[in-house]
Amino acid sequence: MQKQNSGKTDNNVLDRIQYFLVTPSNDNFRKSKGQLKPGIKKEDLDKYLSLIGREVLRERTPDLRELAQSLENIDKKHSTRQEDSQSTQLQNHDSASRSSSTINSMGASIIIELIEKGYLKDSQKWLSHKGFSTIGEKILTDMMKPLTSGENGLHETMIGGPGSVVLDSTKKFDYGNDLRMINVPKSLLNTLQRNAKGNRQIQLPLQINIDDFEEYETSRDVIVSLVYCIDLSSTMRYSSMFGDLSRIEAAKKALWGLFILNKKFFSSDSISVIGFGALASRISPRDIPYLRTFEPGGDFMHYTNYQAAFRLASKILIREGASNKRIVLITDGHPSACFIDHQKDHDDLISQRPYSHFYSPDIDTLQRVKNDQNLELDLHSGKLVYLCYRYRQVDEYIGKRTIAEAKKCRQNKIQIDTIMISEEDSLLAYVNEMEKTVKGRSYYINPGDIDKALLTDYLKNRRTIMRS
């Protein structure tokens, strides 16, 4: 989205939203331009942000046009409740006097103002950094209501940014970073050297350019490294009987709040996110709201490969170098895929099971997944995948290979915990077996309570680590 110097939103954004919301006759369009709300009240802003938080978590994220319609419906319901409290005569009078163009432009007006306030942006991923943080704070607050901060030993930090340990070395200043980290002597020296190279006479006050600034480098004093591995297999889209969120939507909501918790109270720790099906991909935490499950189809990405998640997570954790390393696997079922690392394993399976199914993604599939879901699939952990789904049971070969991979994580001092979110407990035995092998923990919880369970577990684990 292009903005003018005055800071006002480009009218093209309104034009595009209005085009879809109203019949674009010249008369209605001219009227809609003057109907932007003078200012959103705080109670209305909270209401809009709560709805935006629900909408962005959906399996298919709505575009700005659809979001505008949803926000408009909220105002319609609010207006209807106000009218119901009045007499029938006044209600009919108000309804008759309201023009259709005003109603239809209401949602677009809200979107424009939220863009101008910095909560949204005009792009496919329309949640801005400010919107992500603000809505995440609301989610975290809701998650923490049943908990008391004193019991959990929360400790808020005043230091922000990627690192908390200041080094002696410096680097070029990155515009937008903390100005307190600027190395003033080095920056002034750069200004003097720049003027000397240009054979300019040095005059006071010095004319400092942005390129002259240097900032101190920082490193992360990582105490705990966690990698959350989210199952993106097709069954994660199933709706829960315990609430209005599907399994994947409940998991995304919980991780969104956890990421905010980590940045706010434990800034020296590291949280990474991996999404996995038949293969795995590292995901930016700010893309958590936009995660989608894989579609069942010919590319077979909708299978569940724990090995892919464990291998990619191990690489991340070993590279982090923290003394406390942990993988939290969030899934609704059981592994139905594993890697084939050696030709001999492939040949043995074929001889024992002639109808075995193997899969290796082609270039077109990789590009499609990248374009549609913004996922860079990890092919370094393995390329050939063995697929075998068995109803309410785990294939013996896949089960053994998965537990063997979990043992490798244990050897690297990586703890694995599994959270199973499903209404079916028939597969919990395998999860328990795997966790018993690696001395981890397994949870079987209602999808409606996943946010509370993840938060409580995270904080309890923190207390254990801090005491040790």
- 245-276 per-position pLDDT tens digit: 888 998 899 899 989 988 888 877 889 999 99
Domain end (from 68, 103, 127): 127
Is residue 443 domain-resident?
A: yes
DSSP helix/strand/coil, 297: coil
Is residue 383 domain-resident?
A: yes
Token pair recorded at residue 326:
């942990």
Residue indicated by tokens 């879809």: 20
Is residue 133 domain-resident?
A: no
pLDDT at 274: 97
Question: How much is the average pLDDT of 308-315?
Answer: 97
Number of domains in the chain: 3
Domain end (from 97, 127, 157): 127
pLDDT at 293: 93
Higher-confidence position of 79 and 269: 269
pLDDT at 78: 53
Do 184 and 115 lie in one domain? The reply is no
pLDDT at 135: 93
Do 24 and 93 lie in one domain? The reply is yes
Is residue 244 domain-resident?
A: yes
* DSSP secondary structure, 375-401, as one string: -----SS-S-EEE--BTTB--HHHHHH
The sheet that has 441-445: what strands, in order across it? 280-283, 270-276, 224-231, 324-331, 414-421, 441-445
Question: How does 346-381 read in b/e, with b if 16+ C-beta sit within 10 Å?
Answer: eeebeeeeeebeebebeeebbeebeeebbbebbeeb
pLDDT classification of 333: cutoffs 50, 70, 90: confident
Do 182 and 261 lie in one domain? The reply is no
Q: How far apart are CA 377 and CA 7, in angstroms?
A: 39
Residue 239, domain CATH: 3.40.50.410
Is residue 138 domain-resident?
A: no
Write out pLDDT tens, residues 316-327: 999 987 888 999
Q: C-alpha angle 278/456/287, rounded to 5°?
A: 40
Q: How far apart are CA 333 and CA 336, in angstroms?
A: 9
Q: How far apart are CA 211 and CA 73, in angstroms?
A: 49
| Close Cβ partners of 280 (under 8 Å, ≥ 6 residues apart) | 229, 274, 305, 308, 309, 311, 312, 377, 378, 381
This prediction has a pTM of 0.72
Burial-class residue 80 by CB neighbours within 10 Å (0-12, 13-18, 19+): exposed
Residue indicated by tokens 């690392």: 341
Helix pair 396-411, 428-438: axis angle to 10 deg: 30
The total number of residues written for the chain in this structure: 468
Q: How far apart are CA 247 and CA 169, in angstroms?
A: 46
Instruction: Please check the confidence at residue 120 and state whether its pLDDT lies above 50.
Output: yes
Note down the domain range covering 414.
Answer: 224-467
Higher-confidence position of 120 and 7: 120
Do 211 and 246 lie in one domain? The reply is no
| Close Cβ partners of 201 (under 8 Å, ≥ 6 residues apart) | 195
Is residue 157 domain-resident?
A: no
Percentage with pLDDT > 70 across the chain:
75
Do 171 and 206 lie in one domain? The reply is yes
Token pair recorded at residue 1:
């989205």
Instruction: Please check the confidence at residue 332 and state whether its pLDDT lies above 90.
Output: no
Among 34, 114, 32, 29, which residue's Cα sits nearest to residue 71?
114
Running DSSP on this structure, what letter comes out for residue 38? Answer: S
pLDDT at 409: 95
Higher-confidence position of 354 and 103: 354
* Cα of 400 vs its chain's centroid, Å: 32
Do 120 and 47 lie in one domain? The reply is yes
Instruction: Please check the confidence at residue 29 and state whether its pLDDT lies above 50.
Output: no
Most confident of 24-28, 135-139, 275-279: 275-279
pLDDT classification of 79: cutoffs 50, 70, 90: low
Instruction: Please check the confidence at residue 195 and state whether its pLDDT lies above 60.
Output: yes
Instruction: Please check the confidence at residue 102 and state whether its pLDDT lies above 60.
Output: no
Is residue 150 domain-resident?
A: no
| Close Cβ partners of 58 (under 8 Å, ≥ 6 residues apart) | 249
Do 59 and 90 lie in one domain? The reply is yes
Q: How far apart are CA 461 and CA 455, in angstroms?
A: 10
pLDDT classification of 386: cutoffs 50, 70, 90: very high
Do 385 and 276 lie in one domain? The reply is yes
Token pair recorded at residue 91:
């209600």
Instruction: Please check the confidence at residue 194 and state whether its pLDDT lies above 90.
Output: no
Dmax (CA) for the chain in angstroms is 84
Question: How much is the average pLDDT of 47-72?
Answer: 88
Domain end (from 219, 237, 259): 219
Q: C-alpha angle 7/13/17, rounded to 5°?
A: 145
Task: Classify the phi-psi angles of 400: left when phi > 0, otherwise alpha if psi is within -120 to 50, otherwise beta.
Answer: alpha
pLDDT at 156: 39
pLDDT at 467: 30
Given a contact cutoff of 8 angstroms between Cβ atoms, the answer to whether 119 and 133 are in contact is no
pLDDT at 305: 96
Write out pLDDT tens, residues 151-188: 434 433 333 444 444 556 777 777 667 777 788 888 88
Do 188 and 228 lie in one domain? The reply is no
Do 22 and 110 lie in one domain? The reply is yes
Is residue 207 domain-resident?
A: yes
Do 69 and 181 lie in one domain? The reply is no
Do 102 and 173 lie in one domain? The reply is no
E strands of 251-335, at which residues?
A: 270-276, 280-283, 324-331
